Amino acid sequence: MDQTSQVASPESPTAAKPKGFVLADSAVDRLRQLMEHQKTPEGGLRILVKGGGCSGLSYAMEWAQRGTEKDRVFERDGARVFIDSKSLLYLGGSELTFEQGLMSTGFKIKNPNVKASCGCGESFSV
C-alpha cells in the first residue's frame, strides 16, 4: 500500500500534502488484539470526522465488521483502519497511535492538519 500519495492543498493548487494515513506500532498491536477479540478477521477500526465539538470538528471511532466500497483501507501487518473519502480530507498525513496512561487509555490521532483544538483534545479545526 502506498502511503505517500499526494493531493493538492486548498491553499495552493500546486502545493501538495500527504494523503496517507500511518498506523504506529502501538496501534497495530492493539488493533490486532481487537480483531482477535471481536472475532472479525475482515474487521477494523472505522475513523470518521464529524461536525461538532467546541472547535468545529471531532473524531469518531467505531469497530467495523468490514469496510465498504466507499472506504479507503489502511492496513499494516494485518491491522486495518477504514476511512471514508470525506474524512480523509481532514486526516491526510495523520498517524494513529495507541497510548496507555494513568489518566486515559485509547487511540490517539496525531494530525498535522489541525490548526486549533480544544483543551480536551477531542475536537479541532483545520
Three-state SS sequence of 53-64: CCCCEEEEEEEE
pTM of the model: 0.79
Question: pLDDT tens, position by position, for the chain (126 residues)?
Answer: 433 333 333 343 334 444 789 999 999 999 999 999 999 999 999 999 998 777 788 899 999 999 999 999 999 999 999 999 999 999 999 999 999 988 889 999 999 988 877 666 566 667
Residues 14 and 106: their CA atoms lie apart, in Å, by 37
Task: Name the CATH architecture for the domain at 22-125.
Answer: Sandwich (2.60)
Q: Strand ranges (DSSP E) for 3-87?
A: 6-8, 16-18, 21-23, 44-51, 57-64, 71-76, 79-84
In three-state secondary structure terms, 73 is strand
Question: Which pLDDT does position 2 carry in this prediction?
Answer: 39
Using alpha carbons, list the distances in angstroms from residue 41 to 26, 45, 89, 94, 108. Answer: 19, 12, 27, 25, 23
Residues 98 and 88: their CA atoms lie apart, in Å, by 19
